[in-house]
A and B are shown apart, each in its own frame.
Chain A
Amino acid sequence: MRNERDMTTNSAFRTPHSALEVSFTLNGTPTTVSVPDSERLLDTLRYRLGLTGAKEGCAEGECGACTVWLDGLPANSCLVPIYQVRGRRVNTVEALDPAAVAPLLDAGATQCGACTPGVVMTALWILQHPDVLATHTVRELMAGNLCRCTGYDGIVDGIEAARP
């Protein structure tokens, strides 16, 4: 996709919220949205597509409650401009297999639940990429998901219990 607007005049740069059509693969399904180009992926997911699993906890990439997978890697969707997902794969918590989270439930990985969708996205990514555990600890990998309820033991224990 290209923005074909004529760049020779400065006025083109001042149009607030130019509409943009963005096509990407959302949870395996080709998806096209027409959105203001100032929108973040998080807002598109939550307020346009009704996928409210990802939360805004800080809007600065600190808490990880908005974590999704972008081209298969965990990313904070509050820091992703919507135009950057064109042609990419986005996976959200809604598309996960509920059976995969059973060990987390058993270990007490969720309490208030506000951080949980983000926690789950990172946790399941780790479990699907166990090779990273050769170089990283679970606690280091989970450090981008702030949780104020569990003290992290329930989360770490749940991941450890599910490790292949």
Chain B
Amino acid sequence: MSVLLPGSRREALELLARSNGAAMPIAGGTDLLVHWPQRQEEHDRAYLDLSGIAELRPVEWTPDALVLGGLTTYWDVIRDARVGRELPLLAVAARQVGSIQIQTRGTWAGNIVNGSPAADGVPVLMAYDAVVVLESVAGREEVPLERFYEGYKQMRRRPDQLVVAIRIPRRPYTFQRFVKIGSRRAQAIAKVGLAVTHSAAGGGGWRVVAASVAPTIRRCPSIERLLEEQAAVHSPEELLPAIARDVTPIDDIRSTAEYRKLAMARVLFYDVFRGREQGAGSTDHGRRMTDNG
């Protein structure tokens, strides 16, 4: 194996370009290092260590956006009180990523490019209309997160591009909710993740983003339409046809397709469709599966 240790963004982009896409960027390492001793074949490749690039770390508030750096960690966001006030789902989701030991190391950009359909950070970013800022020696490109994924672990990032920032528009929200259904309260991988927002501001409307129920994290247009149309929904079962159009859950090591569908329907019904009325002004923005309060 070999590791490239750039000291600046510019240098990192150059090294990446010269590696012809062979080098794998590494930020917090919380995904790449899992079971590392057992993954000997991964030891044979090249890595581009981003951890020394100070300019990728800071969080920036502009008049119309929150801009996370390519190295911004979950913990950076959890400790930013302004996030909790303005874009609270970011903090709610960040607190449910692994444990504090993971939160201090794992990055939002890493969560995006790891491409896991069970990611915790991606759903809330997508529900806030986040934009992925990619950069290569050839220049910058911006891709809305909702159009970033093309298939399981397939995404619109060229091997010579780095995620240098994530831009999240600042909007007033009338409804914000993140629900992670995991196998326990802490340190769980989502069996179903749901991030739901509503903003009346320009370009706003309902966003319903689901995790762990499709090859990629994705928006649920049929559910969103029901919400936009203020359709009358009387039971969770009535949501099942829309869910079937939007997502394709499977049986896997962590859960079953049937459970995922039903739990998604029930959470959407009780927490979103029923919760619409109470949503505005609520400070309860998120719930862990086992938080029953």
Contacts and interface: CB of A to CB of B under 8 A. Distances in A.
A81 B49 contact: yes
A144 B1 contact: no
Given A59-B38, A81-B29, A37 B187 contact: no
Given A74-B100, A81-B33, A122-B100, A7 B4 contact: yes
B190 to A, nearest CB: 15
A59 B2 contact: no
Contacts of B37: 40, 59
Interface stretch (B17-25, B59-67, B218-226): B17-25
A78 B38 CA distance: 12
Interface stretch (B39-47, B167-175, B241-249, B278-286): B39-47
Interface stretch (B101-109, B157-165, B198-206): B101-109
A133 interface: no
Contacts of B23: 13
B258 to A, nearest CB: 27
A2 B15 CA distance: 12
Category for how many chain B residues contact A: 35 or more
Contact of A61 (B3, B4, B75, B102): B102
Interface in B210-240: none
B116 interface: no
Contact of A143 (B19, B22, B187): B187
A76 interface: yes
A105 interface: no
A161 interface: no
Given A143-B185, A143-B186, A144-B186, A15 B5 contact: no
B58 interface: no
B256 interface: no
A7 B15 contact: yes
B138 interface: no
A59 B34 contact: yes
A78 B33 contact: yes
B73 to A, nearest CB: 9
Contacts of B35: 59-60
Contact of A75 (B7, B78, B101): B101
Contact of A86 (B5, B15, B99, B187): B5
Interface stretch (A16-24, A25-33, A92-100, A108-116): A16-24
B128 to A, nearest CB: 21
B185 A83 contact: no
A84 B186 CA distance: 27
A67 interface: yes
A1 B18 CA distance: 20
Interface residues of A, number: 45
Interface in A83-135: 83-84, 86-87, 122, 135
A59 B1 CA distance: 20
B101 A74 contact: yes
Contacts of B51: 84
Contacts of A150: none
B26 interface: yes
Interface in B142-194: 185-187
Interface string A27-55: 00000000001101000000000000000
Contacts of A14: 2, 44
Contact of B22 (A1, A13, A67, A78): A13
Contacts of B275: none
A18 to B, nearest CB: 5
B163 to A, nearest CB: 18
6 shortest interchain CB distances as A-B pairs? A144-B99, A143-B186, A13-B46, A73-B104, A79-B33, A38-B43
Interface of B: 1-5, 7, 15, 18-20, 22-23, 26, 28-30, 33-38, 43-47, 49, 51-52, 75, 78, 95, 98-102, 104-105, 185-187
Given A7-B18, A17-B1, A144-B99, 13 more contacts: A7-B15, A8-B18, A38-B1, A40-B33, A40-B37, A74-B104, A79-B105, A81-B29, A136-B95, A140-B95, A143-B99, A144-B101, A144-B187
Interface of A: 1-3, 5, 7-8, 10, 12-18, 20, 37-38, 40, 59-62, 64, 67, 70, 73-76, 78-81, 83-84, 86-87, 122, 135-136, 140-141, 143-145
